[in-house]
Amino acid sequence: MDYLLLLLVLPILFSIFTLVSGRYSKILSLVFSSIMLLTVLLFYEFINTDFTTDKFFGIGFDVGLNYLSYPLILLVTIVVFAAIFYQDPKIESSYFSYIFFLQFSLFGVFMSQNLFLFYIFWELVLIPSYFMIGRWGGPRKDYTALKFLIYTHVGSVIMLVSIFVLAFNYYSLNGTFNFDYNQIFSAMPSGALYYLVLTGFFLAFFIKLPTFPLHTWAPDVYVESPTTSSMIFSGLLSKMGAYGIFAIFINFKDSSVGWLILSLGIISLIYASFSALAQKDLKRMVAYASIGHMGFISIAAGVYLISSSELALVGGMFMMFAHGLIIPILFGTVGSIERSTGTRAIRDLGGLTKMMPNLAFLMTGGFLASLGLPGLAGFIAEFSVVVGSWQAITYVSFLIVFGLVLSASYHIWALQRTIFGPYNNYLGKIGDMIPREFWPVLILFLLVLLFGIYPYPIYHMFQAYMGGV
């Protein structure tokens, strides 16, 4: 349906308009992001519709919405709106322009219906991301931007090789080229070519997720980026890898691969927890918390490939959505602490609830959501993965619970040393969150609370997607 193109055209137009808007860039960006949010909400009626063009060597501009892509499109619009609201208006207008270009690219990744178009949008995401790190990052921004580019681009190039191997294999069997999701995997090659294809997709998706040991770019990117970029990168870029796993990688239906990614998911969960406990920088600790959450997605996909447990897989999908709301809360509150106190060092903080009660409320709520407290969005995701694992591979659930205990430990440890306890008088008199910080973070927290109490709208979409896979 032609209307679907609006979801791609509007962000590009908004990117151009904000670029030339000068000192009005934040106001316009806030208006534009609100329009995008309203548009996406209205597009619920267009789920399971698509737009296609004539094919050239099996390649066409094929986009659509389904019950997996729509929640992610919605998530992108929510986080982009919150991030723009949070951002200091003094920043150059080009920053907001990059955000809308990133939104366009992410929409393309989630809406693509063929692998070649998927790859094009996947690569386009690198452009605004690289400049958002390289121009507005911290002291190590050049190193971090280059590291991000190398990691993600290497994975992307190998994925492109895998895509063309699949396409040529399909051609050898059917006499035509085809890149369509629903058909190209029917021509899966065998032998060495099969493992080449699998490796390409594995590297691309699990680097972007990220998962251990392909995660080392993520802490640097999240820490060196300004707060708004950290909210966007942690909340949205990792969803590219998660989407690739759920939409594409599970087509391999290989139990041996399932055991591999299940193992990596458990290692990621436990490794990230120990790493978070060892951090002295609060922002870097949150970065490792984000990596730990992504371990649940690997676990869910692994359990599904081994046992076909839809409960575990749907739990992983819901974790993908919940994580996208929760992690920006944590980075947003850490950003407020750094602006107000001038430090992120955990040892220099303490008792912030005395001077920053609003910050204390939202940070505590975000941390409790992150550790999976019942009634908040993270719980239903973790519970589904644990129960699905218990039903399929019982002993795995014990390892997951061990990882959850570690996760709770570092969350509570960090809260005790930053929000609670005696106030560090060396900080002097500090202010609470300012309105542009408080309101977007509060909106995100209210959504986490809403989907924790009533997860059905999003959870049911993922169940419906599994019914149609």
Q: Are 21 and 93 in contact (CB under 8 A)?
A: yes
User: Could you read off the pLDDT of 395-440 as tens digits, one per residue?
Assistant: 888 898 999 899 999 999 999 989 988 888 888 888 899 999 999 9
Mean pLDDT of residues grouped by 10 in the chain (469 residues)?
Answer: 87 94 90 96 91 80 93 98 92 93 97 94 95 90 92 91 89 84 80 87 91 89 93 93 92 86 94 92 94 92 90 94 96 94 89 91 95 93 92 87 90 91 84 94 97 95 83
378 falls within a domain: yes
> Which whole-number Å values give the CA distances from 260 to 197, 264, 266, 305, in the listed order?
16, 6, 10, 10
Query: Does any domain span residue 124?
Result: no
25, part of any domain: no
What type of residue is 383?
F
Cβ neighbours around 177 below 10 Å, total: 17
Task: Specify the 3-state DSSP secondary structure of 6.
Answer: helix
| 355 inside domain | yes
User: What is the DSSP track for 102-142?
Assistant: HHHHHHHHHHB-BHHHHHHHHHHTHHHHHHHHHHH--TTHH
Task: Please report the pLDDT score of residue 421 as a whole number.
Answer: 83
User: How do residues 115-153 score in pLDDT, each as one tens digit?
Assistant: 999 999 999 999 999 999 999 988 899 999 999 999 888
Is 70 inside any structural domain? no
**Spatial separation of the C-alpha atoms in residues 114 and 246, rounded to whole Å:** 15
Number of domains in the chain: 1
Exposed / middle / buried, residue 251 (Cβ in 10 Å: 0-12, 13-18, 19+): middle
pLDDT in tens, 354-397: 899 999 999 999 999 999 999 999 999 999 999 999 988 888 88
Query: 404 lies in a domain?
Result: yes
What is the 8-class DSSP label of residue 63?
Answer: E
Please choose, from the candidates 103, 95, 99, the residue with its C-alpha nearest in 3D space to the C-alpha of residue 9. 103
Give the span between the Cα atoms of 440 and 76, in whole angstroms: 14
Report the alpha-carbon distance of residue 422 to residue 425 in Å, rounded: 9
* Domain limits for position 443: 254-469
